[in-house]
Structure 1
Amino acid sequence: MMENLVFGVDIGGTTIKMALITEKAVIVDKWEIPTNTTNKGTNIIPDIAASIKGSMVQRELSNEHVLGIGVGAPGPVNMQTGILYTAVNLGWDQPVALRDELQQLTGLSVVIDNDANVAALGEMWKGAGDGARDVVFVTLGTGVGGGVIVNGDIVHGSKGAAGEIGHITVVQETGYLCNCGKTGCLETVASATGVVRLATDALASNNTESALRNILLDAGHITAKDIFDLARTDDPIAYETVQKLSTYLGLSLANLGSALNPDKIVLGGGVSKAGETLLNPLREKFKQYAFSTVAESTAIEIATLGNDAGVYGAAWLVKYKH
């Protein structure tokens, strides 16, 4: 007898990642389609439906073979109504009936959630969470997002805003302005752009010798990768920047850890690719700031699924939430 299949969909601003996955979390096929944000994103849902139907035709699948479609979307979501409130980078500035429209176009059951929550579920199910049932997932990319899993299920909060880790205030005074309108958010100092901002300000405020200064003069800009690469060589400005980042992030994670005592805190996103260069100082700061029991029992790990976390988590939604 054929194993039931699930479609996992992870909607991003540039591409939509899609996968056909078995109930036992084995990817049968995966592909991407471009995210068409023209005309306020009106083509996005029809494009997803067409791609799924095309995959089913190609594999000679009927609706009976497919449990449903799970979707991770970049914005606040109401799982009960299936509405995505807003996703400005997709052109969706008004609430979108994402679940109902996709169900109507495909004839399949659809479950939706926020993309960071879905990535967190993917890492819990198949990645660095390694089956742990209490996990905090933090994405350190162009922004900082996250998902909180308690007793094997995602925490949404009363308005779906649980896990907005990037908007924990870590700089009370003289903090940078965040896109959310507040100042001093974790996102302003721990995202890829935040790390660059810390280093650029350090270069401007002192005359310490640093290879970062030469990169800035030659290329006109520096990247987070430049900073971590040079921190490994003990470049003073790069090292100081990573220490500062680790302090801000370590304090935030310690406070979350003291509130939730997860088995694991899993770091994903581009900044996490720094690996041990980030993990070593971060673990030290976490131990310094966290409640002693938490410091001993909560492990900080790097995510293992990369770009597949979202499609795995979307498949988990169908398996356990539809």
Structure 2
Amino acid sequence: MSGHVYIGADIGGTTIKLAFINEEGQIMKKWEVPTNTDDKGAAIPDDIAEAIEQVRAELGINPSQIMGIGAGAPGFVETSTGYIHEAVNIGWKDFDFGQILSGLTGYDVWVDNDANLAALGENWLGAGRGCKELIAVTLGTGVGGGVIANGSVLNGANGTAAELGHVTVIPEGGAPCNCGKTGCLETEASATGIVRKAKVAAENYEDSALHSLIQSNELTAKDVFQAAAEGDEAASVVLHQVTDVLGMAIANMAIVINPEKIVIGGGVSQAGDQLLNPLKTAYRKYALSRTAEASTFEFAELGNDAGVIGGAYLVKKNK
């Protein structure tokens, strides 16, 4: 086997997605290993190193072909060193991940926030292919953001650029966020936030179909979208609030970089046009009209592969 090989790693709270990817962006092999969060995630670099070595041997790849590892973590990352200031879902705090993983594998390692890597992946091979100005928003358990400006991912002075989920949208009396603030976008527009808001809204609508799901503790964001589609008033009110505040937050970020594309991904995006149409309306309501004219909304195309593809591209760009 010949040619350069890039390794992408997407570290989540439950699983670590890994992939070997060639120069054209084709996935040669992808797989997952469980995220061991015991002892504040201390064993994760060892687990990644062992998994990579095992698959490298299986594929018959010479170590000299491997250009490096691009890894994404859900937290605050010092991109120049791969140092993780904090990744709450994993347990890392002041963790020298990049250096540890490089020492274990012998490969160069680049690390970035997981949402930034998803943006890079979509920018290389997905919905934002070739865009120089792009905003990517991931709506899942939390809300992630990634920004490509002038063709490069924005990291900021200490790795917190484009943390769209932590834009304050409820100045007073908002729900607490795991970042320590209250009223963050993540508390309003994530899957978790949608469920929380639906529980509150249903209290004002006795005949809401949401009540039975709330009582059985089985309510999901998907259920809220389904109920809204069937005309449930409480669910409809919630989705209007969610898309309105999300459109406002994206419009405010858009004024900074004047994006060509806004890419929406994550589990909540599976709602399709039921999410996208009111989101576009809200965006146009709040955005500078000339800014809105320049940008189109797209759904992310790479799905769960965006992070590992973005990781590979991070290596490709830096080598």
Corresponding residue to 1:226 among 223, 226, 235 = 223
Q: After superposition, what is the alpha-carbon deviation per residue over 1:52-95, rounded to whole angstroms, capped at 9, x for unaligned? A: 111111122112211111111122111222211222322223x2
Asked whether the equivalents of residues 231 and 277 of structure 1 are also in contact (C-alpha less than 8 Å), the reply is no
The residue that corresponds to 1:163 in the other structure is 162
Q: After superposition, what is the alpha-carbon deviation per residue over 1:245-275, rounded to whole angstroms, capped at 9, x for unaligned? A: 1111011111111222111111111111111
The residue that corresponds to 1:283 in the other structure is 280
The residue that corresponds to 1:268 in the other structure is 265
SS at match of 2:92: coil
Alignment of structure 1 residues 63-82 onto 2, 5 Å: 63-82=63-82
Q: After superposition, what is the alpha-carbon deviation per residue over 1:115-162, rounded to whole angstroms, capped at 9, x for unaligned? A: 111111111111111221111111111111111110111111111100
Give the drift of 1:167: 1.1
Corresponding residue to 1:258 among 255, 276, 281 = 255
Q: How many residues align?
A: 319
Give the drift of 1:230: 1.6
Gaps of 5+ in 2: none
Q: After superposition, what is the alpha-carbon deviation per residue over 1:231-257, rounded to whole angstroms, capped at 9, x for unaligned? A: 112221111111111111011111111
The residue that corresponds to 1:317 in the other structure is 314
**1:2 aligns to 2:19 (yes or no):** no
Give the drift of 1:11: 0.9
Counterpart CA distance in 1 for 2:41 and 2:177 is: 25
Which runs of structure 1 show a deviation greater than 6 angstroms over 4 or more consecutive aligned residues? Answer: none
Give the drift of 1:208: 5.0
The residue that corresponds to 2:109 in the other structure is 110
The residue that corresponds to 2:22 in the other structure is 22
The residue that corresponds to 2:86 in the other structure is 86
- Identical counterparts, % of pairs: 50
CA distance 1:207–1:74, change in 2 (3 Å): closer
Asked whether the equivalents of residues 119 and 306 of structure 2 are also in contact (C-alpha less than 8 Å), the reply is yes
Counterpart CA distance in 2 for 1:112 and 1:96 is: 12
The residue that corresponds to 2:289 in the other structure is 292
Give the drift of 1:22: 0.5
**1:246 aligns to 2:243 (yes or no):** yes
| Structure 2 counterpart of 1:20, one-letter code | F
CA distance 1:103–1:220, change in 2 (3 Å): closer
Q: TM-score, normalised by structure 1?
A: 0.95
Gaps of 5+ in 1: none
Counterpart CA distance in 2 for 1:231 and 1:130 is: 33
Q: Which moved more, 1:186-195 or 1:207-216?
A: 207-216
RMSD across aligned C-alpha pairs, in angstroms?
Answer: 1.4
Counterpart CA distance in 2 for 1:300 and 1:50 is: 40
Asked whether the equivalents of residues 118 and 307 of structure 2 are also in contact (C-alpha less than 8 Å), the reply is yes
Alignment of structure 1 residues 117-266 onto 2, 5 Å: 117-204=116-203, 206-207=204-205, 209-217=207-215, 219-266=216-263
CA distance 1:157–1:36, change in 2 (3 Å): same
Asked whether the equivalents of residues 208 and 236 of structure 1 are also in contact (C-alpha less than 8 Å), the reply is no
Alignment of structure 1 residues 22-41 onto 2, 5 Å: 22-41=22-41
